[in-house]
Structure 1
Amino acid sequence: MARKFLYFVAGMVILVLAGAFVYQVYGDDLMEVAFVPDTEFAAQEVLETNVYADTAMWLARPELVKDNPALWLPEGYEDSEPALPETGKAAVFFVHPTSFLKKDHWNAPLDDEESQDRARIFLRGQASAFNAVGQVWAPRYRQATLGAFLTEKPEGQRALDAAYQDVLAAFDYFVGEIPSDQPIILAGHSQGSLHLTNLLKDRVAGTPLATRIVAAYVVGWPVSVDTDIPEMGLDICEAPDQTRCIMAWQSFAEPADYGRIVKVYDMTIGFNGEPRKDSKLLCSNPVNGDVNSSSPASANLGTLVPNDDLSEASITVGSVPARCDPRGFLLIGDPPELGPYALPGNNYHVYDYSLFWANIRADARRRMAAFPAR
């Protein structure tokens, strides 16, 4: 029963995990009262990089085998391709989305079991897409609480900045632990992808690390082609066998209503200091592995569909199409029946990975195969 309850909670929680953009469109005063902390912001002690030498600071890493959520596979699923040799695998750095909802702290305490349990569930459906091509490293971090996205108080941004410092510490440790020539895959979702956009700008752009990145999957967070990509150190993935590139998408069923999201997005400033207004969003098509394209449902290798009690998921092949629209949103046709957790406006943010789980898995494998020999 506890396991079933956690799956239910995770599903309900993720309804409101779309981040600042979705909240500013759909949020209201009630949400702020319910989730925004009414306590003072307490500056966190900066974690030393060696803190991440402790395996307890990771939700997933190579030494963790028992109950590692990133090793999960859908019920009855078997890879059609042979397993990669260990020497040919990447190291995958995955940053999970928001799982802390309480309002007694601006940042999640590391000993908060409820948010950690939710984070493990998220890894099952997201980070698992990469376990065929690499060993997944997924750090625990003092993520910003959900309420940090629901307010204009300066404490909200301070909480996000503090969370990002943990992600940086984890990443620096990760880079120091893996072989100096091992390929790297970066991936995340929602708040995790927000942190990855900054990490690419601050740790990858203009450094030798850029040559080791197979691909960066910055999913569920808006990325401006004009004002963000030039500062992130990698090109856009324009072809399915391209490497050292970035993929990003935001999923909407049709008819899609994202006009108010665009209104908020157009008020923000990009990484190059220029307004994002009227700039195109990066829209990768995870079915084709390219950008600004269309694909029929028959090309979808498999969507994760949960069972009735949400305790497992199975793969449904050929059920969801994908096409990028002119502004840069990924449209998936008629609303698929994946559960009751779609956001207003036919926003399928919750399912950004689930919709294309098998294609993401194949995409990562294809890019690994194309990655220049070490």
Structure 2
Amino acid sequence: MARKFLYVVTGLVVLVIAALLAYRLWGMQIIRAVMVPREAFVAIAPLPANAYDDPKMWIARPDIAKDNPALWTPEGVKDGHSPEKAPEKAAVFFIHPTSYITTLGDAHWNMRLDDQESLATARRFVKNQASAFNAAGSIWAPRYRQANYGAFLTDKPAAEQSLAAAYRDVAQAFAAFLKANPQGPLILAAHSQGSHHLLRLLRERATDKGLTDRIAAVYAVGWPISVEADLPALGLPACARRDQAHCIVSWQSYAEPADPSAVIESFERKPSFTGKPHKGTHMLCTNPITGAFNGAAPASANRGTLDARDADKPTRLVPGIVPARCDTSGVLMIGQPVDMGPFTLPGNNYHVYDYALFWADVREDAKQRLSAFLKK
């Protein structure tokens, strides 16, 4: 009996090892097979022209005082959002990343606005990401009919169609944001799919000096940007140092040993904003600890990482957890893998944690760039 039990245990161990090996070798292929929607793309109707006049279409905006996730700060942070609208504050437009993640038969190409599970996840992203900016200004974070996560795993025409549909909502929300904030400095921030839409906004408005002159900083995090082939079309340069305003910040986080090949291959395959090929160009990497273009910083300089692993305990801000080094590949290396939770992607990709790893550094960065902007 004992021997039979050992055989069963041994068999289970072998299966687990085989599964882990298969995931390591074919992780992205497995993810694509499960998560790319199988239905045909169905166009979604435009929202009403005044849709974003309704506070219910926003996860966060200044007049939402109750249950506003963007107002959150971890315990011990003393420079939290002030409800008084002061002239030195910015209006912050934040586009949340993909929270619509489905498998197999449940998948649509675009999220429905009544999808409560995806909305709850989006609210968590706003809490853990957009909150980093609440010391620099009042945050506006729209709901939008985002593209399914699977849209980023395929070259099917439906993927681009779903992203275009999502962008239409974002552009409409941005117009409402500008209408409500006709003057003063702006901070534009996003992550992942949100950064994809934010960069399109910048490209389409690059010649609008009335807008670009108001931008204190852009945080297009978790999305590759070519220094040579994309930046020239965006109307703003890369941020070279932390005391610089009117510039763009971006990084993509990986632990070592890193395998960013999936991101690089997709980046090189996609068209650029200038029409030049991406291949052979450099991805923008801002070191979030120093605020500088490229470079390295030790873990001891990291002002604070969000630790939200224990759902039963408040999220903690812990300094000195990870270093940051911009690699020649264009991605940001954070040293050896750290336990941030269950959402590390294949290749030691810490994409989900791009903001959380450097939450306190982003907070300081936004304050300093706004200060530099106001001194102009």
Q: Which category describes the TM-score, using the shorter chain as reference length?
A: 0.7 to 0.9
Q: Which moved more, 1:255-264 or 1:129-138?
A: 255-264
How far is 1:270 from its partner? Answer: 0.8
In structure 2, C-alpha distance between the alignment counterparts of 1:163 and 1:310, rounded to whole Å: 34
Could you give the per-residue CA deviations for residues 267-307 of structure 1, whole angstroms, max 9, x where no partner exists? 22211011100110000011111101111111111111114
Following superposition of structure 1 onto structure 2, how do residues 1-374 of structure 1 map, counting pairs within 5 Å? 26-28=27-29, 30-79=30-79, 86-102=86-102, 103-178=106-181, 180-309=182-311, 312-372=314-374
The normalised TM-score by structure 1 is: 0.88
In structure 2, C-alpha distance between the alignment counterparts of 1:240 and 1:61, rounded to whole Å: 27
- The secondary structure found in structure 2 opposite 1:236 is coil
In structure 1, C-alpha distance between the alignment counterparts of 2:286 and 2:41, rounded to whole Å: 37
Q: Which moved more, 1:82-91 or 1:345-354?
A: 82-91
Query: Do the aligned residues in 1 keep the contact of 2:90 with 2:187 (CA within 8 Å)?
Result: yes
Report the CA distance shift for 1:310/1:185 in structure 2 as closer, same or farther (over 3 A): farther
Give the letter aligned to residue 27 of structure 1.
Answer: M
In structure 2, C-alpha distance between the alignment counterparts of 1:221 and 1:121, rounded to whole Å: 20
In structure 2, C-alpha distance between the alignment counterparts of 1:249 and 1:276, rounded to whole Å: 17
Tell me which of the two structures has the higher relative contact order, counting C-alpha pairs closer than 8 angstroms and 6 or more residues apart: 1
In structure 2, C-alpha distance between the alignment counterparts of 1:228 and 1:310, rounded to whole Å: 43
How far is 1:67 from its partner? Answer: 0.6
Could you give the per-residue CA deviations for residues 190-227 of structure 1, whole angstroms, max 9, x where no partner exists? 10011011011012444321110010000000000010
In structure 2, C-alpha distance between the alignment counterparts of 1:97 and 1:355, rounded to whole Å: 16
Report the CA distance shift for 1:95/1:327 in structure 2 as closer, same or farther (over 3 A): same
- The secondary structure found in structure 2 opposite 1:87 is coil
In structure 1, C-alpha distance between the alignment counterparts of 2:155 and 2:175, rounded to whole Å: 31
Query: Do the aligned residues in 2 keep the contact of 1:49 with 1:172 (CA within 8 Å)?
Result: no
The normalised TM-score by structure 2 is: 0.87
In structure 1, C-alpha distance between the alignment counterparts of 2:32 and 2:334, rounded to whole Å: 31
* Aligned Cα root-mean-square deviation (Å): 2.1
- The secondary structure found in structure 2 opposite 1:73 is coil
- The secondary structure found in structure 1 opposite 2:170 is helix
Q: Which moved more, 1:155-164 or 1:198-207?
A: 198-207
Spell out structure 1 runs of 4+ moving beyond 6 A: 80-85
Could you give the per-residue CA deviations for residues 211-255 of structure 1, whole angstroms, max 9, x where no partner exists? 100100000000000100000111110011111100000011122
Query: Do the aligned residues in 2 keep the contact of 1:205 with 1:234 (CA within 8 Å)?
Result: no
Query: Do the aligned residues in 1 keep the contact of 2:91 with 2:184 (CA within 8 Å)?
Result: yes
Report the CA distance shift for 1:181/1:200 in structure 2 as closer, same or farther (over 3 A): same
- The secondary structure found in structure 2 opposite 1:115 is helix
In structure 1, C-alpha distance between the alignment counterparts of 2:236 and 2:49, rounded to whole Å: 25
Give the letter aligned to residue 189 of structure 1.
Answer: H
Query: Do the aligned residues in 2 keep the contact of 1:48 with 1:169 (CA within 8 Å)?
Result: no
In structure 2, C-alpha distance between the alignment counterparts of 1:123 and 1:311, rounded to whole Å: 19
Report the CA distance shift for 1:152/1:328 in structure 2 as closer, same or farther (over 3 A): closer
Give the letter aligned to residue 154 of structure 1.
Answer: P
Report the CA distance shift for 1:287/1:49 in structure 2 as closer, same or farther (over 3 A): farther
In structure 2, C-alpha distance between the alignment counterparts of 1:266 and 1:175, rounded to whole Å: 34
In structure 2, C-alpha distance between the alignment counterparts of 1:300 and 1:83, rounded to whole Å: 28
Report the CA distance shift for 1:259/1:326 in structure 2 as closer, same or farther (over 3 A): same
In structure 2, C-alpha distance between the alignment counterparts of 1:94 and 1:150, rounded to whole Å: 24
- The secondary structure found in structure 2 opposite 1:172 is helix
Report the CA distance shift for 1:207/1:44 in structure 2 as closer, same or farther (over 3 A): farther
Report the CA distance shift for 1:137/1:237 in structure 2 as closer, same or farther (over 3 A): same
Q: Which moved more, 1:126-135 or 1:143-152?
A: 143-152
Give the letter aligned to residue 228 of structure 1.
Answer: D
Report the CA distance shift for 1:344/1:104 in structure 2 as closer, same or farther (over 3 A): closer
In structure 2, C-alpha distance between the alignment counterparts of 1:210 and 1:187, rounded to whole Å: 14
Report the CA distance shift for 1:307/1:148 in structure 2 as closer, same or farther (over 3 A): closer
Query: Do the aligned residues in 1 keep the contact of 2:142 with 2:173 (CA within 8 Å)?
Result: yes
Q: Which moved more, 1:107-116 or 1:74-83?
A: 74-83
Give the letter aligned to residue 170 of structure 2.
Answer: V
- The secondary structure found in structure 2 opposite 1:235 is coil
